[in-house]
Structure 1
């Protein structure tokens, strides 16, 4: 026999953000007990996604909706980053990558819940990284459904993308993305470059930004950005850039085919 639509359940369903997940800590805070959840699941008012997570029946949950629940309910420091963040902030109109997977970043040792990995593991690429401080260069972007996701700013996202190049992203196309980033904010870019733990990323961004003659380059305090020592080879065969001690694809060096 089905359980009636109680006041607690009605309030829960009415307040539920469309296409998102409700986690056990969130439901407990709303006053629902483990017995309530067992009854609602058995009566098909709720659908279990695995331990500690539920969705509404007949509703499709997107990775964005699941991530919103991870961020807002579980408070995990996981954000949308790299190419996906650039797409969400309107920098994707000329991109040709088309991996189809969303890039999520977090500090080291942050693990997405098992239910998230089971249902959305193929849709996302979760990168655990110490590239940048977890709180620097983050913002909120609205999804089409209307809820906010913590997302890398363009300044942070481009460094995350370069961190993944050339393994995840083609360097020449990364250079094309940098060419279009004419609105980078100097103060934030300076802070990110100083905090960035990767010599390769710092050098590569500065080279590509200089090559593209981005306005931000006129305002950066280069003496405060540590470029490290030694050469960095990003390709097996390419052209050497002495100023930044980088071996890059020939296409990224003027007159260097």
Structure 2
């Protein structure tokens, strides 16, 4: 067995996605990759995209392999985000067992390779953090999904990503149900995130939900450091107005005390 083929076997696993750019970087040029394909060591999915087959032929790459390939082989700054991140950290009961819509945190979806955007008809949901001044390693963690290690947003950032998607890709009520269970967020990390956020509406909704569910970490936040802007914001149509954060929210989230005012 050649040294390059031995390298391939030692650095990949059955069912894993293998990209030509990564192979070339490690001395396996296109012509050699074609020989490996002809010999059955690799199977071609699309131009420049292969996977390691296994004897039964049943193990094929899925969305976790695709996301891992972006970060580990192409070194792209993407991560498992929002609802998907919460789900795979055990903080959501909304895991879809079939055809899971996966939230991907990305600076710009246009920079993602075509093979990823069109991967096996996978429904990706792209989450941008454009209004966060910066992100650091402390905002991320590692989760294991189907045996693959993936970079994921920590619960605080994932919660922010969910709130930022309200009225775009997730209903306010659904986000509120998720938020209700986030009792153990770090007030220091939440404060850091909201201090870096210039998304006024997102900041207000995040604080509204924190206050509404009276999470213990909410009491340790300093709202004076957070950009809340001025004026009213209509978040949901035909909602009730919350005086504290100057936003319209679903009727179901207005407490009985406020309704009687």
Give the TM-score normalised by the residue count of structure 1.
Answer: 0.89
2:242 matched to 1:241? yes
Give the TM-score normalised by the residue count of structure 2.
Answer: 0.88
Instruction: Name the SS for the 2:36 alignment partner.
Output: helix
Contact 2:232/2:246, CA 8 A, preserved across alignment:
yes
- Tell me the residue number matched to 1:179: 180
Query: Which stretch has the larger CA shift, 122-131 or 207-216?
Result: 122-131
Of the three residues 34, 39, 45, the one matched with 1:43 is: 39
Contact 1:108/1:129, CA 8 A, preserved across alignment:
no
2:139 matched to 1:137? yes
- Tell me the residue number matched to 1:102: 102
Q: Summarize deviations over 1:133-185 as a string: whole Å, max 9, x none.
A: 3436111112231x321101110111111111123212122112211111110
Query: Which stretch has the larger CA shift, 98-107 or 168-177?
Result: 98-107
Instruction: Name the SS for the 1:226 alignment partner.
Output: coil
State the distance in 2 between where 1:76 and 1:120 align.
20
Query: Which stretch has the larger CA shift, 66-75 or 39-48?
Result: 39-48
Contact 2:87/2:95, CA 8 A, preserved across alignment:
no
Query: Which stretch has the larger CA shift, 10-19 or 153-162?
Result: 10-19
Query: Which stretch has the larger CA shift, 149-158 or 49-58?
Result: 49-58
Shift of 1:34: 2.1
Of the three residues 21, 30, 37, the one matched with 1:34 is: 30
Shift of 1:97: 8.0
Contact 1:110/1:128, CA 8 A, preserved across alignment:
no
Contact 2:208/2:245, CA 8 A, preserved across alignment:
yes
Q: Summarize deviations over 1:58-109 as a string: whole Å, max 9, x none.
A: 331010011111101101111111100000111013x488883010011136
Return closer, same or farther for 1:128/1:27 CA change in 2, 3 Å cut-off: same
Q: Which runs of 4 or more aligned residues in structure 1 lie more than 3 Å from their structure 2 counterparts after TM superposition? A: 95-99
- Tell me the residue number matched to 1:126: 126
- Tell me the residue number matched to 1:72: 72
Contact 2:127/2:161, CA 8 A, preserved across alignment:
no
Contact 1:156/1:192, CA 8 A, preserved across alignment:
yes
Q: Summarize deviations over 1:97-132 as a string: whole Å, max 9, x none.
A: 888301001113652211122224533222344033
State the distance in 2 between where 1:252 and 1:97 align.
26
State the distance in 2 between where 1:207 and 1:221 align.
14
Contact 1:96/1:173, CA 8 A, preserved across alignment:
no
1:161-200 equivalences in 2 (<5 Å): 161-200=162-201
Contact 1:154/1:184, CA 8 A, preserved across alignment:
yes
Shift of 1:231: 1.0
Contact 1:141/1:151, CA 8 A, preserved across alignment:
yes
Task: Point out where structure 2 has 5 or more consecutive residues left out of the alignment.
Answer: none
- Tell me the residue number matched to 1:12: 8
- Tell me the residue number matched to 2:111: 111
